[in-house]
Structure 1
Amino acid sequence: MRLTVTIDGDLFAKAVQTAGPGVNEAELLREVINTLVRVQAARRLAALGGTRSGMADIRRRRPEPAS
């Protein structure tokens, strides 16, 4: 897919500098989008934490071994 965007020049220069010399600009933008998707998915998953009503408690420790 082709997309035309306007990006802050200073911010893009920082991203290129952080990524290292010789970085492909298209690959850099692809990685930025992938990272955004992962971060947002993690935030949504964290927001769900403990919201299921009626769910039985989950044991967190193993039972003591029998002697």
Structure 2
Amino acid sequence: MTPDDPLLALLACPLDKGPLSLVPEEDAWALYNPRLRLSYPIVDGVPQLLPSSGRKVSAEDHERLLARIEAAAG
């Protein structure tokens, strides 16, 4: 999955049904929900969008991810 993948516009958070942002993580990509501060991994190109797959993000990581999202958007 890449930032320009049309599938990204169709994916939604399984909990609040809102949009997700594609963000780089340590050595892979993840889908991030800034409203709930949850990060969903992408494993072998497949988004893991089960509610139990969401990883809670710390306040520090949340700010870092928001900065990356804003930088990519503009």
More helix by share: 1
TM-score normalized with structure 2 length: 0.28
Q: Greater share of strand residues, 1 or 2? A: 2
Q: TM-score, normalised by structure 1?
A: 0.30
Structure number with the bigger relative contact order (C-alpha 8 A, sep ≥ 6) is: 2
